[in-house]
């Protein structure tokens, strides 16, 4: 029974590996796209404006707290107990209000996260629609986002980042050139026809060398020794032939 289970598991793993090998897998970098996507850059600037405004407000509130603490420290000895209690309560209220404001703005699910979702939701949707369109056009079955899931090794040949950028109207000419240089320098990206042609050329050169070695060298007629093998003309002009013993008709 154990042996049969092992055989079944091996068969399943083999079929899974064969199925995976038959799939076309690519990858994309959404981070690189966001860095070049103008709409995303504008949204980042707007969100940064909100953050700066909130931080300025927190700084002002902290300044009021610091000023009140200094005032309490200077007047602690001259204030009455009632005045000191009032000021200390005011100080605690200011600290609590500042903490509440910071939590409302920057805590998980706070105003910062809500503003980011509102600004980037439509942009991310455009990006992923473009990724799906390019993936379908190029015939990919699986596309990994290496920005979310770091990959140990990737082949630039299967990087569709530049194609997605072009789909979104992003100028990616420089990135396209760099990627093409990487692809061209990778030996695995060479076409099989080029490899066969190179092999054919090497085989032809080898055959030519072998033929030149086997075939004897023929000496041109001008360089042959005519004393050993005199050249006899096949026919002479008729006016140069004089019969010796032939009767001349009268």
Interior angle at CA 115, CA 172 and CA 168, nearest 5:
20
pLDDT of residue 200: 58
Q: How far apart are CA 150 and CA 143, in angstroms?
A: 13
Question: What mean pLDDT, rounded, does the chain reach?
Answer: 78
Q: How far apart are CA 45 and CA 152, in angstroms?
A: 33
pLDDT of residue 213: 47
The verdict on residue 2 lying in a domain is no
The verdict on residue 159 lying in a domain is yes
If one counts the domains in the chain, the total is: 1
pLDDT of residue 162: 96
The verdict on residue 96 lying in a domain is yes
pLDDT of residue 109: 95
H or E element that contains 79: none
pLDDT of residue 204: 56
The verdict on residue 215 lying in a domain is no
The verdict on residue 204 lying in a domain is no
The verdict on residue 225 lying in a domain is no
Quote the radius of gyration of the chain (alpha carbons, Å): 45
Q: How far apart are CA 54 and CA 102, in angstroms?
A: 8
pLDDT of residue 149: 82
Q: Is 144 helix (H, G, I), strand (E, B) or coil?
A: strand
pLDDT of residue 80: 92
Domain of 42 in residue numbering reads as 23-185
Q: How far apart are CA 140 and CA 155, in angstroms?
A: 14
Residues in the chain predicted with pLDDT less than 50, given as ranges, are 1-20, 211-250
The verdict on residue 247 lying in a domain is no
Q: How far apart are CA 89 and CA 83, in angstroms?
A: 10
Q: Is 47 helix (H, G, I), strand (E, B) or coil?
A: helix
pLDDT of residue 206: 54
The verdict on residue 62 lying in a domain is yes
Q: How far apart are CA 122 and CA 136, in angstroms?
A: 21
pLDDT of residue 150: 83
Q: Is 159 helix (H, G, I), strand (E, B) or coil?
A: strand
**133 CB-near residues (< 8 Å, 6+ apart):** 167
Residue given tokens 């992923």 in the structure block:
128
């Amino acid at each position: 029974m154990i042996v049969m289970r092992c055989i079944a598991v091996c068969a399943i793993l083999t079929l899974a590996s064969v199925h995976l090998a038959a799939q076309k897998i690519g990858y994309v970098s959404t981070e690189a796209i966001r860095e070049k996507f103008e709409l995303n850059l504008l949204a980042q600037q707007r969100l940064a404006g909100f953050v700066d405004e909130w931080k300025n407000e927190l700084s002002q509130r902290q300044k009021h707290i610091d000023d009140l603490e200094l005032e309490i420290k200077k007047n602690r000895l001259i204030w009455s107990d009632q005045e000191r209690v009032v000021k200390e309560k005011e100080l605690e209220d200011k600290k609590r209000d500042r903490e509440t404001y910071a939590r409302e703005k920057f805590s998980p699910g706070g105003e910062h996260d809500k503003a980011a979702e509102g600004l980037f939701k439509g942009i991310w949707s455009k990006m992923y629609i473009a990724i799906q369109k390019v993936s379908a056009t190029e015939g990919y079955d699986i596309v990994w986002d290496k920005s979310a899931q770091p990959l140990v090794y990737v082949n630039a040949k299967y990087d569709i980042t530049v194609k997605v950028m072009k789909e979104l109207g992003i100028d990616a000419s420089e990135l396209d050139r760099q990627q093409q240089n990487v692809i061209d320098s990778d030996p695995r990206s060479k076409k099989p026809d080029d490899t066969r042609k190179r092999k054919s050329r090497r085989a032809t050169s080898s055959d030519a060398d072998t033929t030149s070695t086997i075939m004897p060298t023929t000496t041109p007629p001008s360089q042959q020794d005519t004393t050993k093998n005199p050249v006899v003309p096949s026919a002479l002009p008729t006016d140069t032939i004089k019969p010796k013993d032939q009767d001349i008709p009268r």
